[in-house]
Amino acid sequence: MIGTQAFDAGALFERDSEMRLLTLGVDGSFLNVGRVRARIAASNAAEAGNLATYERTVLTALEETENALVQVSRSARQTAHLEQAAAAGTRAASMARLRFDQGSIDVLELLDAENARLQSHDAFAQGRVRSTLAVVSLYQALAGGWPRHHPAAHNVASK
């Protein structure tokens, strides 16, 4: 109950003054202008630092995403060329087999054609691996990666 006695200057410092109870939470630090300005400046500096960190994080994420997109595009083109080379190697090996069966070439030429076919298929398989890894890198760049830890496997005991 706040009455007129609480607002009376003489009653302000009395033991049961409600005004004294109301002013207990005020410490007067807001009156020190220099300290307030320093706190505001520190807050602004911290905000600027946080903003710079955020912008750096966003730019890094954009750079990683762009690099991953370029790698996906490049590996897709390379894989397409390697697939064409593997198909050509298969056709060349088939023709070499026919020519060998007809007696036009010797076994060494047939083995060279088969070796070239196997190498072209191996290069195509490696290109597909690179292409898949590029897609995984893109997913990782877009999604921010996966957790470093793996959830523990739950063992279900049979009864």
pLDDT tens-digit map of 89-147: 999 999 999 999 999 999 999 999 999 999 999 999 999 999 999 999 999 888 866 66
Q: What is the pLDDT of residue 34?
A: 85
Residues 65, 141 contacting (CB under 8 angstroms): yes
The DSSP code for 149 is: S
Architecture of the CATH domain 41-143: Up-down Bundle (1.20)
Residues 6+ positions from 15 with CB-CB distance below 8 Å: none
Give rounded-to-5 percent helix, strand, coil for the chain. Answer: 80, 0, 20
User: Can you read off the two tokens belonging to residue 49?
Assistant: 């630092």
Query: What's this model's pTM, rounded to 2 decimal places?
Result: 0.59
* Domain-wise residue ranges, the chain: 41-143
Determine the Cα–Cα distance for residues 8 and 18; give it in Å rounded to an integer: 11
Confidence of residue 154 (pLDDT cuts 50, 70, 90): low
